[in-house]
Structure 1
Amino acid sequence: MVNRIDFDRSDSMFQPAGLLGWERAMIDAAIPSPELDHAPIWTESSPPDHVRNGPNYVNLASGLVIGLAVGCGGGVASMLGVAFGGFVILGSVLFVCVVAAAAAFREQRRRVESTAWSAAQHAKFVQRQTEWRRRVHLHELLETQRVSNSPMWYPIAPHRGFEGLDIFGGGIDGWRCILATVGTSLLRAEVAITVLDFTERELADGLATFVSRLGCPVMRVELPHQCSPLDLFGPLAVNDLAEVVAESIASTRRTHPDAAVLRRRDVGLVKSVAEQLNPSLPVTFARLAAGLRILRRIAHEDSRLTRDEVGRLSGLIDIVGTGDRVREEMEYLSSLFDLLADGTPDSPPSPPPCPSTGLLILSTGSAIDERKTTTDHLVFHRVLHSLRRNAEISSGHVLIFALPDRFDEVGVMAMIRHANRNNIRTIMMAPHLRDGMRNLLGSSGNPTVLMKLNNADGARTAGEFVGHGYKFVRSQQSWQGGSTFTHGWGQSLSTSNGATETLGTSTGREDSTSISTSGSPTTLANSRGRSRGSNESTSWSRNYSFTDSVNDSIAESINTSDTDARVYEYTVEPTTVQSLEPTEFILVDTGRSRRVVLGDCNPQYAFMKRVSRQPRSHS
């Protein structure tokens, strides 16, 4: 992951301090220009009157008529022999020519002016259309630039500044990314960081690479191989040593019914042995185990103890080593210290000082589970002791501790409480939300980061912590359909008969008389005629009609109904928590107002383009 990142990019950014990751923003699509549907339209307009109107043909016609009348008068006069008539004819012809020429000139000028006016109107339209296209293109260009240059990712940081952080869930990759992101942003603000890595997975390697590229000092200490947990940050006084050892052992057996009694017994035993050791020599687990052997009467001398130390311890045998339970506890402590001594160097180097700047990584590891568990608790309670005494770790420091599965909530809450009292900010990383760890959810008052939780109970607890909200969901959906088919058939036959008979009689008479006077004598002629007739007709008719009909009808009906109900459900479903990507997280920030944000802690976003430098404002 780190090798693919270009640290030399000038636009790389890990800010503000306490940066957790980045959230993706939805960019509004390009908005069309409001003038897009209002393009200029060419419309033919009427030209002005002096351009639209041509020559006055009425006046022209009147002049021509007058000229022709005068010419005709002159012609008549010339026929009658009057000399003046010739001049009249010549004047009439000239008058008609002048009138016609004037009309032609005015028509030509009108056409030129009309053409020029139309060209000017079209030029204005082209100019308006060009201006419209320019405005639309400019709007589209600005929208395209807005969409292409708008930030896609905004940094996520607590509203009230970084005062601490509680991280629950997530895998190794997610923890590495969020450590690299948060840690780099804090170190850029010149804050010293101490990491307690109990996972044996080198969680802070990515952060160390980032920090070294930034030019900050990095120190790594592997416990207990490079340093004894008891010597962390410097040697302890006898009373403090006994308390740290007893509390570390007690935290591994809190479910024991006599846990409190055993703790006080361990304090007494460790203190009794440590007080008899030479203060000029370091107190190691090997020397403590040797001292317990002396008290148990198993050995009368040991190469790891001086003669004076053996003598002083021998004087406590009858005082300390009485009682079966005491002897059982001494046996347990002796074997435990021997186990711890096997992983500790015989001559450990000088303990690492708590840095005032840069990064200090304290990691634990062992092939034996019991030694690893006890070492984790010893380192944890050694740091807790420094916080209680307000020693070694300076104010303004940032303490990060990645917990394994075996830690309970009592020690973790004590660590956070004492760190806050000393103005030391903490980042607690818990792998699950089982058992007592769920009691830590929201207890510190710090912003909470929820990463992927595969366990169903843990995901449900995370969903409950995020909260519930009202929303409308589809509660009922119904569908009802039906169809109807109707078939009909019918036949009909009709017959009609008819008969018609017609009888008729006609009678006629004609009389005529004629008189002839031509010639002589006059003749008179009469004629008369009569006619009579009759007719008879009969007709028959018969009609048949046959009808055959078939009727089919189909009817279909479909009814659907949806019902939405207002419900009070998870704001973030547990399945969403289970399906998060390794670097995704849900931030629950209780700053000025409670907000829930989905983000990604992959540090590569800091080196990408279109990443904002300022957090996104949430209304």
Structure 2
Amino acid sequence: MTNDDPLPRLATEGERLGWIFTDRNLYRRRFTEPPPQPQPVPPELRDRLARAERATTKRILVSIGVGVALAVLIGCCGGVAARGDDESTARTVVFLFAGLAFVAGIAGAVIAALLPGWARKAVENAQRQAQDEYAREHAAWDSRRQWHDQQQQQAVDARPEWSAASPSPGTRRVDIIGGTMYGWEAVLSVFGGSLLATRGRMVLADFTGEALSGELIRLAETTGRSVRELLLPEQLAEFDLVAGLQPAELVDGLVEAMYGDAPEGNRAERSQDALLLTEVSTILAPRLTMARLLAALRVLAGRPASAQLTPAEREQLLILQPDAARLRRIEAFLHPLEEMGSAPSTAEVADLTCLVAGGAGGQAQNELLKDLTVQWLGRQVRREEPPIGSLVLLGADEIHHRALERLSTLCERRGIRLVLFFAHLRADSLRTIGGGEVALMRLGNHHEAQQAADFVGRGHKFVLSRLTRSLGGDETHTLADTYGETETKGGERGSRMSGRHLRRFSSTNWSKSRNWSQTESTARGTNWSDAATADRVYEYVVEPRVLQDLPEYAMVLVRNEGQGSVVQAVEVDPAIVTLPRVSMKPIAAEPLPDPAEAVIPALRPLEAPPAVGWGAISDPPRQQEPGRSSHER
């Protein structure tokens, strides 16, 4: 063991299926205080500068003109008034006042010329004061911002990025579906190491034929735990699967192993085989071994007797007259087990017991050994001393679901963690899974991936199915012209006497009128509507394609909490333990900051994601991958 070996770090208390990645930067909050703004120069100062610059020339000319005019006026008026006795003195006074008036005009012109400079200097002083005040305020604001960022950095640095994914409290069973052999080996290292540290003694049965427990064995050895590994059937002589059984228990186990999951139509054959084996076992008791049982069957078949049987036992066996075909069939089943328990072996109980199925035996022998091993595991669970903390079965696909259910019930009653690995999701697996939490790894077959997605379930949401928009309008324009004309003509004719003369007269009047009018009216109207229709649809929580494309060291953990399932993306790479900010315990998800305050607004909440996508954990940073003793990952 070296100090750089990461395997011992996996043997930390607390059950862990793997780790869940959480981006710690999502919890970083922005400094929301707005920065100070520089104060503008008072507008009256700028107005004064503008007026001074605009009226400078005029003021100079006016001042000089007024000064000269006053000087001339004083000189003229003073000269007239100074005529008299003291003319010289008066003139001196006049010239003095005229000079003063001229100098005052020149002084006014100078002051008028200096006013823009004074106004400009006042503006510059105001700007300098505003800049100094802004610099002080900005420095104080920047100091507060840096302190806030420092506090946020410390809080983010203290937050782990990888939190342990643990089974829910009260769950005794975990089913792992799919995955590759490398993925299973990683789960054994991570989950198995935590089970050894948390629950103590572990029994592991590997039916895959790939010997996946090598890294877990090395982990147990480097942490000072005892290990017992048996390769079956190669080391069958050192391990007796039926040791200590009563005749009835042995017969029941052998008959169950011989027939396995045969249909119920063979119940009569089962009963006849059980009766024959019971009679033979009763004669051989209490020294009941597989070698003696096979020797007894050969005696019944008329073959030479073995030295393992006593003469009295042979005489009692010959009384039985079983069917020869039945004897041959039973012997054919039990023949591969003849050497079971024949070699001396230590019966010490180890912290980690690994039963590894090899590929040396035939198919029938391996099937029989597998069934007997499952029965032996059930007896180990029922034993009071020493207690088992966890039981792991690799390659549980070919084990009959009734046997798995019995084993699950036994583990449930005794508080033992049962972990089942299924390479495929088939009919028997579908009957079995769901008794606890289920972890889905890569499923290459699309049909199995669809069944797994159906198992996870579907969620409903409202989807826009139809969008209707209509736009219409009308416009009416009316133009009417009215024209009328009237004409009236009239007159009179007559004669009348005017003196002695008769005068004739006539008069005519005529009038004509016209009227014309035009009427115009316009009416416009517009109407529109915008309608959307949403339908409630059901979609997979996890799409089947996601399960087919899972990374090798990734799983989808389906946890039953309350009235629904919680789906979590879990990374099982053992090398994660070497990364910084890794928590070996689960951490409750904290609410994310409001998007208005978050530096990186989250697209969705961390709790109960509607769909699983791997994103950042599909290819996590790996500094070291421990335990590649037998395979190159």
TM-score (norm 1): 0.69
TM-aligned CA distance change 1:310 to 1:400, over 3 Å: farther
Say whether the 8 Å CA contact 1:18–1:186 is kept in structure 2.
yes
Say yes or no: does 1:19 pair with 2:16: yes
CA distance in 2, matches of 1:210, 1:92: 117
Aligned to 2:227: 218
- Give the Cα–Cα distance (whole angstroms) in 2 for the partners of residues 433 and 146 of structure 1: 44
Q: Write out aligned runs for 1:522-541 (5 A).
A: none
**C-alpha separation between the residues in 2 aligned to 1:50 and 1:406?**
96
1:184 aligns with 2:190: no
Q: Structure 2: 5+ residue runs without aligned partners?
A: 469-530, 590-606, 609-633
Q: Give 1:601's aligned residue.
A: 572
Shift of 1:456: 4.3
Amino acid corresponding to residue 605 of structure 1 in structure 2: I
Contact in 1 for aligned 2:294/2:334 (Cα 8 Å): yes
Amino acid at match of 1:594: S
Report the 3-state secondary structure (helix = DSSP H, G, I; strand = E; otherwise coil) of the residue aligned with 1:160: coil
Larger Rg: 1
1:321 maps to amino acid: Q
- C-alpha distance in structure 2 between counterparts of 1:438 and 1:417, whole Å: 17
Among 340, 343, 364, the alignment partner of 1:347 is: 343
1:385 to 379, 384, 395: 379
Matched, 1:288 2:288: no
Distance apart, 1:275 and its partner CA:
4.0
Tell me which residue corresponds to 1:544. Answer: none
2:357 corresponds to 1:364: yes
Q: Which residue of 2 aligns with 1:83?
A: 89
The 1:335–1:142 alpha-carbon spacing in structure 2 relative to 1, beyond 3 Å, is same
Whether 1:576 aligns to 2:546 is yes
Letter in 2 for 1:18: E
Q: CA deviation at 1:449?
A: 1.6
Q: CA deviation at 1:581?
A: 3.2
| Deviation string, structure 1 residues 28-78 (Cα, Å, up to 9, x no partner) | 599887678x88478554255998697999999878866765565555566
Structure 2 equivalent of residue 505 of structure 1: none
CA contact (8 A) 1:40 1:132 kept: no
User: Which of residues 427, 433, 438 is equivalent to 2:430?
Assistant: 438
Q: Cα offset for 1:316?
A: 2.8
Alignment CA distance shift 1:90-1:268 (3 Å): same
* CA displacement at 1:193 relative to structure 2: 1.8
Q: Which residue of 2 aligns with 1:517?
A: none
Question: CA distance change for structure 1 residues 121 and 99 in 2, over 3 Å: closer, same or farther?
Answer: farther
**Partners of 1:103 and 1:331 in 2: CA distance:** 140
Aligned-residue offset at 1:288: 1.7
Q: 1:604 to 1:8 in 2, by over 3 A?
A: closer
Residue 144 of structure 1 deviates from its aligned partner by 8.9
Deviation at 1:377, TM superposition (A): 1.0
Structure 1 match to 2:326: 329
Q: Which moved more, 1:181-190 or 1:110-119?
A: 110-119
**Alpha-carbon shift at residue 454 of structure 1 (Å):** 3.4
Change (3 A) 1:243 1:13: closer
| Partner AA of 1:585 in structure 2 | M
Query: In the superposition, relative to structure 1, how do residues 122 and 382 fare at CA in structure 2: closer, same or farther (>3 Å)?
Result: closer
Shift of 1:413: 0.5
Residue pair 2:459, 2:538 contacting (<8 A) in 1 also: yes
Alpha carbons of structure 1 residues 474 and 220: separation in structure 2 relative to 1, 3 Å: farther
**Greater CA drift, 230-239 or 592-601:** 230-239
Q: Any residues of structure 2 matched to 1:197-596 within 5 Å, and which? A: 197-227=206-236, 231-232=240-241, 235-251=244-260, 254-255=262-263, 257-258=265-266, 260-277=267-284, 279=286, 283-299=288-304, 301-303=305-307, 305-306=308-309, 309-318=310-319, 320-322=320-322, 324=323, 327-341=324-338, 344=340, 346-353=342-349, 355=350, 358-365=351-358, 366-387=360-381, 389-392=382-385, 394=387, 397-442=389-434, 444=435, 446-472=436-462, 565-592=535-562, 593-596=564-567
CA–CA distance in structure 2, aligned partners of residues 69 and 14 of structure 1: 115
SS in 2 for 1:189: helix
The Cα of 1:154 is off from its aligned counterpart by 4.1
Counterpart Cα distance in 2 of 1:133 and 1:60: 56
Distance 1:49 1:239, change over 3 A: closer
Structure-2 separation of matches of 1:125 and 1:310? 114
Kindly provide the CA deviation profile for residues 148-182 of structure 1, in whole angstroms up to 9, marking residues without a partner as x: 99765443223326522112222322221222221
Quick one: structure 1 residues 575 and 246, their matched pair in 2 at CA, closer, same or farther if it must change by over 3 Å?
A: same
Q: Give, as a single letter, the amino acid of the residue that structure 1 aligns with 2:576.
A: Y
Instruction: Output the amino acid matched with 2:352.
Output: L
CA deviations on 1:57-113 (whole Å, 9 max, x unpaired) are: 999987886676556555556676232432453465457657866985784766544
Question: By how many angstroms is 1:335 displaced?
Answer: 2.7
Distance (whole Å) between structure 2 residues aligned to residue 471 and residue 437 of structure 1? 30
Distance 1:255 1:274 in 2: 26
What is the deviation of 1:398? 0.7
What is the letter of the counterpart of residue 312 of structure 1?
E
Check whether the contact 2:173–2:408 (CA below 8 A) recurs between aligned residues.
Answer: no
Counterpart secondary structure, 1:231: coil
Q: Secondary structure at 1:83's aligned position in 2? A: helix
| Aligned-pair identity (%) | 23
* Inter-partner Cα distance in structure 1 for 2:11 and 2:40: 61
User: Are residues 412 and 7 of structure 1, via their aligned partners in 2, closer, same or farther at CA, if it must alter by over 3 Å?
Assistant: same
Distance 1:18 1:9 in 2: 15
Query: Equivalent residue of 2:461, what SS?
Result: strand
Instruction: Give me the whole-angstrom Cα distance separating, in 2, the residues matched to 1:477 and 1:50.
Output: 60
Report what 1:164 is aligned to: 173
Aligned to 1:589, the other structure's residue is in SS state strand
Q: How large is the RMSD of aligned CA atoms in angstroms?
A: 4.5
Cα 1:164–1:9, aligned 2, differ >3 Å: closer, same or farther? closer
Where in structure 1 are there 5+ consecutive unaligned residues? 479-560
Distance 1:114 1:102, change over 3 A: farther
Please state how far the C-alpha of 1:128 moved relative to its aligned partner.
5.7
